Amino acid sequence: MFAYPKAKRSYRSVVCHSPIEGTEDSMGTEGLVPPQLLSLPVVLRCLDVVRVVDVTPHMRRVTLGGEQLGAFRSGGHDVTPFATHNPDDYVKIFFADPETNVLTLPEQDDGHLDWPRRPAPTSRSYTIRRYDEVAGELDVDFVVHGGGVAGEWARTAKAGDTIHLAGPRTSTVPPKGAPWWILAGDETALPAIAHYLDAPPSGIPVHAFAVVPDASDEQVDIEGITWLRRRDDVSDGQQLAAAISALSLPDGDGWMWIAGEAGTVRELRSVAKSLGVGKTMLDASGYWRRPVTGGVLKRVRTLRAQATETLAGRL
Ligand SMILES: Cc1cc2nc3c(=O)[nH]c(=O)nc-3n(C[C@H](O)[C@H](O)[C@H](O)COP(=O)(O)OP(=O)(O)OC[C@H]3O[C@@H](n4cnc5c(N)ncnc54)[C@H](O)[C@@H]3O)c2cc1C
């Protein structure tokens, strides 16, 4: 049996606390508190689909609810109610194996999950877009990208369906005292970016950018975001890099949060470097990976670059 796999976070220069510990002791001399990574007990829950709404042509919001959002007993353990602490908290969602149609789940242990080796559970990571404890509702925004076990599940999901999810296992407290924030990514990063913009820090510039397939994918209710439309001649990373590089930023250690396709994130790491953003103030996550195409040499180069990105993310 495995323990719950390590989260796919990209920066590691964070301080781990339990959620009840304070963070004031890590306040730097300049009043800057870097991001903090909290560890949380992991619970596997079975939830009901309450409703499904198309937010835009490529983004489907699935609202989940059910008794297991509360405390219950599982695998001989009392498990805690669902809780989310910070805007980019995410859960692992479990699906039936697309080949065999068999659903394999990890087992609840004390504060963590035991994962069977064979067959391994099929899971994908999704951000918690909204959690309303009083209404007992949890929103997850799925990009419907025309394939994939998760994308296809979301495309056909309807009220009354059930789904298993686990987490969040970790939670990142954003920095305090940074002179500016940059939030950037593709449409998979939108749920987290929108969540950050629900309650942005006051008194500092927060620059948010998202690349979406086209104008109809812009979510007009998200305030404070600059929309970029996907182009054939320029990569998402290049578009985002150009927009970020054109900013005039105040001096000091700003914070950069970037997520999306692995190649996009790799391109934005260079921008972070050119802005002097150090490891502690960079949160960069490859959320998905475009299949490698082209000749053998191109594939080898791309795979090597992707491996470097993955490695960088684990340091
Ligand atoms: C921490 C974290 C949070 C995330 N939050 C969200 C979120 O809130 N909403 C969200 O939609 N996604 C989110 N993602 C990304 C999501 O987990 C991936 O896109 C995932 O691969 C989708 O699974 P799938 O089964 O649909 O496709 P897969 O089976 O993983 O892939 C099948 C094919 O589809 C391609 N593909 C996968 N995703 C996309 C995409 N978005 N666009 C185009 N092609 C794609 C792959 O390259 C592959 O060729 C998050 C990822 C992480 C790590």
What is the pLDDT averaged over residues 131-139?
A: 98
Model confidence at 314: pLDDT above 50: no
Minimal CA–CA distance to 8: which of 148, 95, 97, 126? 126
Atom 2 (ligand 1) nearest CA: 125
Measured in Å, residue 248 CA sits from the centre of ligand 1 at 32
Range of lowest pLDDT (4-8, 69-73, 140-144, 290-294): 4-8
Q: Which residues face 143 on adjacent strands?
A: 59
Measured in Å, residue 25 CA sits from the centre of ligand 1 at 37
**For a pocket test of ligand 1, which of 188, 196, 257, 265 has the largest count of ligand atoms closer than 8 A to its C-beta?**
188
Long-range contacts of 269-278 (CB under 8 A, 24+ apart): 269/309, 269/312, 270/241, 271/240, 271/241, 271/244, 271/245, 274/245, 275/244, 275/249, 277/253, 278/13, 278/253
Measured in Å, residue 288 CA sits from the centre of ligand 1 at 5
What is the spatial distance between Cα 171 and Cα 234, in angstroms, rounded to a whole number? Answer: 33
**What is the reported pLDDT for 284?**
97
Atom 28 (ligand 1) nearest CA: 148
Which of residues 201 and 19 earns the better pLDDT score? Answer: 201
Long-range contacts of 10-15 (CB under 8 A, 24+ apart): 10/265, 10/282, 10/283, 10/284, 10/285, 10/286, 10/312, 10/313, 11/35, 11/279, 11/280, 11/282, 11/283, 11/284, 11/313, 12/279, 12/314, 12/315, 13/278, 13/279, 13/280, 14/172, 14/280
Report residue 12's pLDDT band, with 50, 70 and 90 as the boundaries. very low
Do 161 and 178 form a contact (C-beta atoms < 8 A)?
no
Report residue 13's pLDDT band, with 50, 70 and 90 as the boundaries. very low
**What is the reported pLDDT for 302?**
59
Q: Which atom of ligand 1 is nearest to the CA of 290?
A: 47
**What is the reported pLDDT for 293?**
73
Q: Which residue has the tokens 């939108």?
A: 190
Measured in Å, residue 289 CA sits from the centre of ligand 1 at 8
What is the spatial distance between Cα 230 and Cα 143, in angstroms, rounded to a whole number? Answer: 15
Do 240 and 268 form a contact (C-beta atoms < 8 A)?
yes
pLDDT digits (tens, 9 = 90+) for 286-305: 999 998 776 666 666 655 65
Model confidence at 19: pLDDT above 60: no
Give me the DSSP letters along 89-142. -EEEEEE--TTT------EE-SSSEEBPSSSPPEEEEEE--EEETTTTEEEEEE
Taking CB atoms and a 6 Å cutoff, what residues make up the pocket around ligand 1?
8, 90, 124-127, 141-143, 145, 147-151, 188, 191, 285, 287-291
- CA geometry: angle 213, 219, 221, nearest 5 deg: 170
Residue ranges covered by each domain of the chain: 20-171, 178-311
Model confidence at 182: pLDDT above 70: yes
Do 258 and 273 form a contact (C-beta atoms < 8 A)?
no
Radius of gyration, CA atoms only, the chain: 20
What is the spatial distance between Cα 243 and Cα 246, in angstroms, rounded to a whole number? Answer: 5
Average pLDDT, rounded, for the chain: 88
Atom 4 (ligand 1) nearest CA: 126
**For a pocket test of ligand 1, which of 287, 293, 302 has the largest count of ligand atoms closer than 8 A to its C-beta?**
287
Measured in Å, residue 287 CA sits from the centre of ligand 1 at 7
Atom 29 (ligand 1) nearest CA: 148
Atom 22 (ligand 1) nearest CA: 150
pTM of the model: 0.89
Q: Which atom of ligand 1 is nearest to the CA of 285?
A: 53
CATH code: domain 20-171 is 2.40.30.10
Report residue 256's pLDDT band, with 50, 70 and 90 as the boundaries. very high
Give the three-class secondary structure for 187.
Answer: helix
What is the pLDDT averaged over residues 37-59?
A: 97
Domain 178-311 falls in which CATH fold? Answer: Rossmann fold (3.40.50)
What is the spatial distance between Cα 289 and Cα 292, in angstroms, rounded to a whole number? Answer: 9
Measured in Å, residue 55 CA sits from the centre of ligand 1 at 17
Measured in Å, residue 148 CA sits from the centre of ligand 1 at 8
Do 120 and 2 form a contact (C-beta atoms < 8 A)?
no
Do 60 and 142 form a contact (C-beta atoms < 8 A)?
yes
Percent of the chain with pLDDT over 90: 82
Which of residues 206 and 291 earns the better pLDDT score? Answer: 206
What is the pLDDT averaged over residues 114-128?
A: 96
What is the spatial distance between Cα 21 and Cα 291, in angstroms, rounded to a whole number? Answer: 42
**For a pocket test of ligand 1, which of 288, 306, 309 has the largest count of ligand atoms closer than 8 A to its C-beta?**
288
